[in-house]
Amino acid sequence: MSGGGPRYERFEKVKVEPEQFLLDVRKEKIDRVVSQRTRNFTVVLDRLEDSFNMAAVLRTCESMGVQEVHVVINPEAPFLPNSRVAQGCDKWLDVKLYKSFAECREHLKSRGFQLYASAIREGATSLYTLRFDTKVAIVLGNERFGVSDDVLDAVDGTFWIPMRGFSQSLNISAAASACISRAIAWRDEHLEGGSGDLPPEEAQALRERFYVLAIKQRKRLFKKQP
């Protein structure tokens, strides 16, 4: 006797809701994370080489609530963050790849961002004097060469990280951590409501996405869902 038929249609048409598979404590954590997410502060990585550094910066961004990371690909080193360092953090982020900085700049400028590159040069300002109450993207450069000339010619300004020791340089992942921590702390201290800035519709869309990502068996459960 063959299966199927009208008796079974009601089961086939039931939409799977991801929240039914999550404990309340997990949903509360996701809601809290979403409420602290920002798309008005972002990080641009210019031609990184080391997979450990790639992963470390992503992990810092995710942990500090930075939702987007923009990556200018190094043609000699594909963007493949080390999985042992990333610990799966990249699934929670929007990582956008570009073939050139010009392409990246055009995208961010169309959204109203000001771009500042990390570079020790004449006219650069201290990280501690930057304001983060508007849309700001900081550009961090290659481990050996720093940001490219294309970046320096196209950004709105440059900044440097004040140091007080004999060492006057930081690894890219350490520099990223210092810059991101400073930016988020500034936003928490100066902006009403803190650093989170997603409008309700975006927050809800991200919340629904995170609910799905939080389910270990999501590929099996949602593979047939529209």
Element holding 110 (H helix, E strand): helix 101-110
What phi, psi does 223 have (nearest 5°)?
-65, -25
Q: Which residues are annotated as a binding site?
A: 118, 161, 170
| Low-confidence residues in the chain, pLDDT < 70 | 1-16, 217-226
Measure the N-to-C terminal CA separation of the chain; round to a whole number of Å.
Answer: 30
pLDDT at residue number 13: 53
Record the tokens describing residue 4, joined without a space: 């199927």
Q: Is 60 exposed, middle or buried (0-12, 13-18, 19+ CB in 10 A)?
A: buried
pLDDT at residue number 223: 62
Record the tokens describing residue 130, joined without a space: 């930057």
Which of 170, 154, 151 has its CA nearest to residue 162?
Answer: 170
* pTM of this structure: 0.89
CATH code for the domain defined by 36-191 = 3.40.1280.10
pLDDT at residue number 226: 43
pLDDT at residue number 128: 97
CA dist., res. 190 & res. 192, Å (int): 7
Q: Which residues are annotated as a binding site for S-adenosyl-L-methionine?
A: 118, 161, 170
pLDDT at residue number 221: 56
CA dist., res. 213 & res. 216, Å (int): 8
Tens of pLDDT, residues 157-188: 999 999 999 998 899 999 999 999 999 999 99
Q: Are 149 and 47 in contact (CB under 8 A)?
A: no
Residue-range domain boundaries for the chain: 36-191
| Residue whose structure tokens are 């598979």 | 21
Tens of pLDDT, residues 200-224: 999 999 999 999 999 876 655 566 5
User: What is the CA 169 to chain-centroid distance, rounded?
Assistant: 24
Which of 58, 67, 57, 60 has its CA nearest to residue 35?
Answer: 67
Instruction: Give the side-chain half-sphere CA count within 13 A for 209.
Output: 13
pLDDT at residue number 7: 53
CA dist., res. 71 & res. 139, Å (int): 10
CB neighbours of residue 163 within 10 Å: 11
Q: 97 - beta bridge partners?
A: 71
Record the tokens describing residue 101, joined without a space: 């900085």
